[in-house]
Each structure stands twice: as structure tokens, then as C-alpha cells.
Chains A and B, each alone.
Chain A
Amino acid sequence: MNAMSTPAIEILGLTKDFPVGFWRPRMRRSLDSLSFQVDEGEVFGFLGPNGAGKTTTMKLLMGLIFPTSGTARVRGRSIDDVEMHREIGYLPEQPYFYDYLTARELLDYYARFSNYSAAERRERVEKFLERVGLAAAGDVQLRKFSKGMLQRAGIAQAILHDPPVVILDEPMSGLDPVGRREVRDIILELKKQGRTVFFSTHILSDAEMLCDRVAVLAGGKLQGVGAPGAIVAIKAPAMEILFEAREGRALPAGLAERATRIGGRCRVEVPEEGLYAALEQLRGCEARILSVSPVHPTLEDYFFRLVGGTAVSRGLEEISR
């Protein structure tokens, strides 16, 4: 096996055009010669605003849609090869399953496509129900599941057959903070087991926390690949100070014009290197400091800077319909 030398996922010039319009369809490019690779054992984040082409890329990898040009390989196998699917697990975006099945039946159904014995299959279903926290809801029909529970069931079916490569499309979306935390734990556990995780998100902090590397996609084009810190560091980190001004005391000149008032409180953003100076000034006017915290640039902020806010903001508008 030369698994160590071949990348887990190799994307080679993937391009996808979709027809737009019914009577006279024109082609719209939603993915433009995308190339990068995900190495074995990596947790790889796929970043980009909604509509950037992340889901399209993942569907191309799973053979749900077919590329206009280019190809991709998973552990050296072409994506046209059905055997490739034995080595890959996939969680679709906002998964939806047969709602007449119970969670246990659903997992059992999917487990049948891997060559397990009946006993093995049963054991596996129980193990993975437990692992995603659905053990108690195993006999509930999926039509009664909340969005979060469906997401868990979706993750369970994606990793049920111990695939070396796991592709998760927006695994944290629609989850409450506890749910997000659990998904993060599962991803880290998969990494510990030496599996490759390729997941998409539009929330930068998720990527920052989990990923060895990230790729950034906007408007169907690759914007960059690298360690997540490199992307966050693009903007000099800023600090946010929340405070209450003492009545009758005017704010110092340098801060007054930058502060925004929210009720009785004020908020001001200062560059990291100016933090202490600002705090000194506030102490001078006896303001009460409520909190000091670093400001994370949102992904949208990042993209607006990166591509001048044209293609991306169009993408954002489309998705927020």
C-alpha cells in the first residue's frame, strides 16, 4: 500500500458549469478549475461564504454531479470508480433521511452496503448511535427528529463503516453550542484515529480550532490554501473594550469619536498595540471597564477585502433569500 505517499483527496482542475434559465439555458460557471490536495491524516477546512462552490465541489467528489472538466482522486482512485466509495464517508449539507425509518433502521440500512455480517452490523449500529448521542432515540422515527438530531444521524452514517476519508458538508450548521462542541470532538477523534477529514464551513472559528490546513473558495475560484492562522492574521488583530462612562465626565478626545454608544454603555475598537494606552485613558476618566476581548474578523470581512466584495456579496445575497 502506498497510501502514505498518495494524497487522501486530489482535486485536479475541477470545473462545473450549470445551466441557468429554462427556455434558453445559459451556462453559469460555479466552479472554475479548482485544484488542491488534502493529505492523509489531515483535518482540512474548506472555507468560503455560502454559494462559493463548496457544496458543488463535494458533490462532484461524491459523484452526485459530473464535472464539466477536470477530475479528482480519492486515495489514488478516480471518483468514477464505485469502489472509491468504500473508503469515503459523506455527510450532505442539511441532511434529510427516510423519515419512516427509525435511527437504528437507518444506520442498519446504510451498514448493509458494507460487507458486514449481521452480528457485526448490529454491534456497529449500536456503537455509532451511542457515539453521536442518539442511543436513547434509536427507535424513534426520523420524522420526529430535530434538525440537530438529524445532523447527528447524518454524521453517524458517514463514519459508520470506518472510512479513511470523511467528507462533511457544513457539519456544524443548525446545531446548538453543545452540538457543535460534540461534532468538534468527533472530528478530533477521527483525526486521532489517523483518518482524513475534509469539511466545509463558513464559520472561521470552527476552522481555526480544528484544521491543520484550510482552502478558501470564493466565487468558484480558489483564493488560497494554508494554515488557518495565516488567514486570520491577515488583519492586524483588534481589541474591543466595553465600558460605562462616569456621569458628567467627558471621554478623552482620542476615544470619544471612535466609541459607539449602546444605551448606557460604550464600545470601542482599538488596535492591539494601543490597548494599554486606551485603558489608561479610560482609567483617567473613571470609566468602568466591563470587558476586553479580541475581535475576530468574520469570514465575510475577510472576503470583502480579498475580492473587493463583488462576486462574494452577490453570492451572499443569493443565499440569504
Chain B
Amino acid sequence: MSNPSQTRALWVAVAGVPLLFAAIAALQVKIDAGTRAYTPESEELLLRSGTALKKMSLGYDSLLADIYWTRAVQYYGNRAGIDGAKFDLLWPLLDIATTLDPKLIIAYRFGAIFLSEPPPAGAGRPDLAIELVKRGIAENPEQWHLNADLGFLYYWRMKDYPNAAAAYLDGSKNPKAPVWLKLMAARITEKGGSLETSRMIWSQIYETSQDKIVREKAMETLRGLRAQEDEAQLDQLAQEYQNRFGHFPASASDLRTGGLLREIPEDPAGNPYVFGKDGKSRLDPRSPIVIPPPLSPPPEATN
């Protein structure tokens, strides 16, 4: 039905276009491989001022905020877990995203995690995380989650128990906030760096968080905390064993034969605990459980 020159044009295109696209995709793969090798170390953000960007965004600031938040996530994702990785642009990106859209709750909450995690999992800057979350609270006073996050940062990362308690207490004044915030404030004031308090905080995080990764992290920490508690108890039992028999137990089964335990205790991953020559219990070296770094005793607890 169509004319020969029209048909010829169609066939040339039908044959040529996919072929060229295949070549383009192949080349892009090569370019990507190359770019990764020579991406400059010091990356640059042309505009570091969120307020300037907000003016230049011509009213599309919330869209731009989403874009910057996405970039921040990628930036973090590309570096997290790599030894020696630097997170220099993480703070500016989060700063810009939250300035562009001060209601972007997710950017405060996850941004704080990215910033506060010690390297290589994060930037190791809990101070900046606290600044970010405080700004989030100022912009979004109804978001009690942010108060809880702030409390957590003070408690877990800064070991600053009075401020942690104050943060939880502030959050508890929100009528929508669950009652555990108030309990948490009281508990921290009462016994700051205790394992019990830590476990309560992490349980709340585990129960209130919707995010899978956060929940996994909380579960892991809770198991670590349980192991820590187990160890403390086992150490006590070992001391008692020494008092009775004049020497430390060589294994957990010694405690059972000595009548101090009914069962051989296992860590949350199912591995029995082992004992050192000093009588201190510890995790089986094969166990995946990680005991969180010890919290320094709170200032109140020292006196």
C-alpha cells in the first residue's frame, strides 16, 4: 500500500535503530565502569545553601527536596560499610533537603541514623544528627517520634543521660505520644546507663519502627544486650562457683554439675557461652551476636 521510498525508509529504521541502541547501552556500561574509577575524591556541591536553592527552585521546592533526599540516600548507600569512606557531603545534602522541605520527616529520622552511626556504617557525627533532629522538632512539634529519636541519640550515642531524659520528657508532653516516652524519661533519670534502660529503648524502637532495616538493627542490638546481661549473670555464677569449689568453671556444664544451673545457657543465636581462664564468660567465637559497646556509667551513677 505504501510507496517504495516510504517502505525503504521504514526498513532502514527498523533495522538500524535497535542496533544503534544496543551499541549505546554497551558503551554506557563501559562509561559507567570508567567513571567509577575516576570519580574525584572531593565531590562538590555547587550550592550549599538550602535557602538559596529554595529561592531558585521557583516554587518546586518540595520536589527538589525529594530529589536531594534521594541523592542523600544514594550518597550514603554508596559509602556505607566501605572502610575509610568519607561522608563529607552527607550533612550538606540533608541540610538542603530539610531546608527545602522542612516537613520531610523521613529525612530527619533516617538522616540522623546515617549521620550518627559510627564509621564505616555511618558518618560518626552524632552532634550533627542531634542538630538535624532538633531542627526537625522545631519545624514539626507534633512529631513525637523525633523527640524519641533525639532522646535515643543523646542516650545511646552521646551518653548524655540528662538531655536524653529531657528529650523523652518533651516528647511525652505531646498528647498523641504513647505513654512509654514518659516512662523512658523517668527510667533514664533513675538509672541512666543500665542495661535495662538500654533494652527498653531498643524494644521501643523495635516495636514502633515500620522500617525493616531499623527493626533488624534494633533486634540485633537487643540480642547483644541480652547476651551482655547473660554474661553478667554467668560471671556472678562463676564467682559463686569459685567461692564453693576454689576454682573457676572451665565451661557452662561445670556450672550445671556444680548445681548452680539447671540447663546449659545459650546465647540468643543458640551457641553455648564459653568461659575464659579468668572466670569471665564470653560468646562463642563463632556466634554472630555482637555485644554493643559499653555505655559509660551516667554522671549521677558515679556518685
Contact = CB atoms under 8 A, between A and B. Distances in A.
B1 A68 contact: yes
A66 interface: yes
Nearest to B4: A80
B42 interface: no
Contacts of B302: none
Nearest to A66: B3
Interface string A59-96: 00001001111000000000010000000000000000
6 contacts: A66-B2, A66-B6, A68-B1, A69-B1, A80-B4, A80-B5
Interface bracket on B: under 10
Contacts of B4: 80
Contacts of A63: 5
Contacts of A66: 2-3, 5-6
Interface in A24-73: 63, 66-69
Interface residues of A, number: 6
Nearest to A60: B3
Nearest to B6: A66
Contacts of B3: 66-67, 80
Tell me if A's interface is mostly helix, strand, loop or mixed: loop
Return the 6 tightest CB-CB contacts between A and B, nearest first.
A66-B3, A80-B5, A80-B4, A66-B6, A67-B3, A66-B2
Contacts of A68: 1
Contacts of B5: 63, 66, 80
Contacts of A80: 3-5
Interface string B1-34: 1111110000000000000000000000000000
B56 to A, nearest CB: 36
Nearest to A63: B5
B11 to A, nearest CB: 15
A96 to B, nearest CB: 26
Contacts of A67: 3
A260 B1 CA distance: 56
Given A66-B6, A68-B1, 9 more contacts: A63-B5, A66-B2, A66-B3, A66-B5, A67-B3, A69-B1, A80-B3, A80-B4, A80-B5
Contacts of B6: 66
Nearest to B5: A80
Nearest to B3: A66
A303 B6 CA distance: 36
A69 B3 CA distance: 8
Nearest to A80: B5
A31 to B, nearest CB: 14
A294 B6 CA distance: 51
Contacts of B1: 68-69
A69 B290 CA distance: 81
A25 to B, nearest CB: 15
Contacts of B2: 66
Nearest to A82: B5
A260 B285 CA distance: 124
Which of B2, B4, B5, B6 has the most C-beta atoms of chain A within 10 angstroms of its own C-beta?
A: B5
A66 B4 CA distance: 10
A80 B4 CA distance: 8
A63 B6 CA distance: 11
Most A C-beta atoms less than 10 A away, residue of B1, B2, B3, B4: B3
Nearest to A78: B4
A268 to B, nearest CB: 56
